[in-house]
Amino acid sequence: MSQAVINDIPGVTSAATIAPRQLPAAGLRKMFSFPVMLMTWMALVVICQAERSLPDPDIWWHLHNAEYLLAYHRFPNVDTYSFTVAGHPWMNPEWLAEIPYYLAWRAFGIEGVEIFMILVLECILLGVLYLCYTRTGHIKASILACWVAAALGTVNFGPRTILFGYLCLLALLMTLERFRSKGRAPLWLLPPLFCLWINTHGSWCLGLAVLGIFTACGFVEGEWGLVQASRWSGRQKSELLWSFAASCVAVFINPYGYRLVLYPLDVALRQRLNVALVSEWRSVDFHEPRGIVVLILLAGLFSAALAMRHRWLLCDFILVLIGFYGGLSHERILFFAGIITAPVVAELLYFVPRYRPEIDKPLLNAAMILGIAIFVAWRFPRPTELQKQVGEDFPAEIIPYLESHPPSGRVLNYFEWGGYLGFEDQQLKVFMDSRVDIFEYAGVLPDYMRLMLFREPMQILDEYQIRYVLFPPDAPLVYLLRRDSDWKVDFIGKTSTLLERMGPMPAGPPKDTTVSKALRAW
């Protein structure tokens, strides 16, 4: 194409027509454009929402697992962290996602984990932005849709392995969006993607469901009210079916084989106490702030769709319904719902005025971006502040005492502290941690719940031959034992209290969990 033809295209100015000294100015205008300023605000919101999310009960045993893997170059196939289920078979379904967190911790300590977590969250939101912009070409509507996804995703803000699952989900959605809009896409990338995905997080099954629904919706054609579908061509059907089949095979490429593939079914069908105990598995409570936000977003989404008579693609309609059904049933699925819904929200926001570069104000944008950067640098928590966060939720204050006064018997620890205690004091074998699957199989989790409900607590302490109890000071069990002459207080602090049994241990062997029927079946 000749230079004259290029210059005649409306709104296009070739690089040859721009003076060399104007090129840096054009780059600066893009760097400090209004969309970049809006993205900076979005990044600020993510940082503010995530800065108090570091203390997560799971991160500590994730770090412990990665430390073991990199030190011994083998996967932990049995439990070595507790005394209740020591030696029992156990598989680590998220081993690959643990390694980056551990490397960040090794490099920069707890601050490294915080920074890495925020970077992953920012990458997820940038991926959502790209997905929305690819669908609509409307940058301001796409950024607003990202805010919706971020609002729904706060439940997963933290050093979580599921974040890698959402990165994989975005890679899948981008590939499928390209296939839908262009008719072609590098579908050969999907099997390697699912091979990576299954080794990072169990959310791979959601991705396989998305791929299956996307493929199946192209086998029908028609209109049903505001919902419509178009049939794939023969070539497209063949490519999608082969990709789906290859992806199903790829998930078997993992260290645990078919057992890891079946693990999501195990969570859904067998780990009922896991679902009951972990708050994220519960349904949305519309009396809480997050539930109110979800309700407003749902009402706004469907009201706008009806008022504007938005025409739904069949695939989008099914995925949005599934996403919100899963999110309302289990809070931890809300981020998935937000990512799935964001492109539809961006389409509904077509009435938002489009970005007009000619009226942009780069100096004002630059001032706001600089102000946000300074605010983030000033507000970002320092290592001492992060350690203080950890100390508010975990018994950091008692670690020096335990190292100088090693317990001479079994310790019953507070459930959420198990991973932290085992990572900080690796000589200490805990009662249980937040790997609830293995403790539920062995019957330890039911006993712990009976203890918390005060159903024969002394009998349970005797059965497990517990000599020490490490719980929060305001725990009912601490209140009970402090008034028992057979127990004394060894340590008491703001977060934790350690009590020791003074009387003789009960006669007979401790409760044996190695003969658990559930574990033998597993």
User: 94-150, pLDDT tens digit by residue?
Assistant: 999 999 999 999 999 999 999 999 999 999 999 999 999 999 999 999 999 998 898
Structure token pair of residue 438: 């293995």
Within a 10 A sphere around the Cβ of 258, how many other Cβ atoms? 10
The pLDDT value recorded for residue 513 is 58
One-letter identity of residue 196: L
Name the nearest CA neighbour of 205 among 158, 291, 143, 268. 268
Q: How far is residue 327's CA from residue 247's CA, in Å, rounded to a whole number?
A: 25
Which pTM value belongs to this model?
0.89
pLDDT value at 56 more than 60: yes
Higher pLDDT: 323 or 21? It is: 323
- On the 0-12 / 13-18 / 19+ scale of CB atoms within 10 A, 339 is buried
Q: For residues 179-195, give the mean pLDDT.
A: 95
Compute the CA torsion angle 471, 477, 479, 484 (nearest 10 deg). Answer: -110
Among 29-33, 50-54, 129-133, 506-510, the least confident range: 506-510
Structure token pair of residue 79: 């439990």
Beta bridge partners of 491: 498
**374: left (phi > 0), else alpha (psi -120 to 50), else beta?**
alpha
Q: Which residue has the tokens 């195990």?
A: 266
What SS3 class is residue 386?
A: helix
Beta strands in 180-326 (DSSP E): 222-224, 227-229, 312-313
DSSP code of residue 228? E
One-letter identity of residue 19: A
pLDDT value at 8 more than 80: no
Structure token pair of residue 259: 């057992």
Within a 10 A sphere around the Cβ of 227, how many other Cβ atoms? 15
Q: For residues 34-53, give the mean pLDDT.
A: 85
One-letter identity of residue 387: Q
Q: How do beta strands 227-229 and 222-224 pair?
A: antiparallel
Computed over every residue of the chain, the mean pLDDT equals 87
The pLDDT value recorded for residue 265 is 85
Q: For residues 408-421, give the mean pLDDT.
A: 95
Mark 156-192 as b/e (b = at least 16 C-beta within 10 Å): bbbbbbbbbbbbbbbbbbebbbebbeeeebebeebbe
Q: How far is residue 392's CA from residue 396's CA, in Å, rounded to a whole number?
A: 8
Q: What is the CA radius of gyration of the chain?
A: 27
CA atoms within 13 A on the CB side of 485: 0
Q: How do beta strands 410-413 and 312-313 pair?
A: unpaired
Name the nearest CA neighbour of 130 among 180, 100, 87, 173. 173
- Percentage of the chain beyond pLDDT 90 is 60
Name the nearest CA neighbour of 143 among 151, 152, 132. 132
In the sheet with 312-313, reading across from the earlier edge strand, the strands are 222-224, 227-229, 312-313
Opening angle at CA 31, ends 27 and 34, nearest 5: 125
> Under 8 Å CB-to-CB from 21, ≥6 apart: which residues?
none
Among 304-308, 309-313, 340-344, the least confident range: 304-308
Q: What is the pLDDT of residues 207-218, one digit of tens each?
A: 999 999 999 999
* Strongest mean pLDDT among 35-39, 313-317, 510-514: 313-317
Whole-number Cα distances in Å, 382 to 43, 87, 171, 377, 390: 19, 39, 33, 10, 13
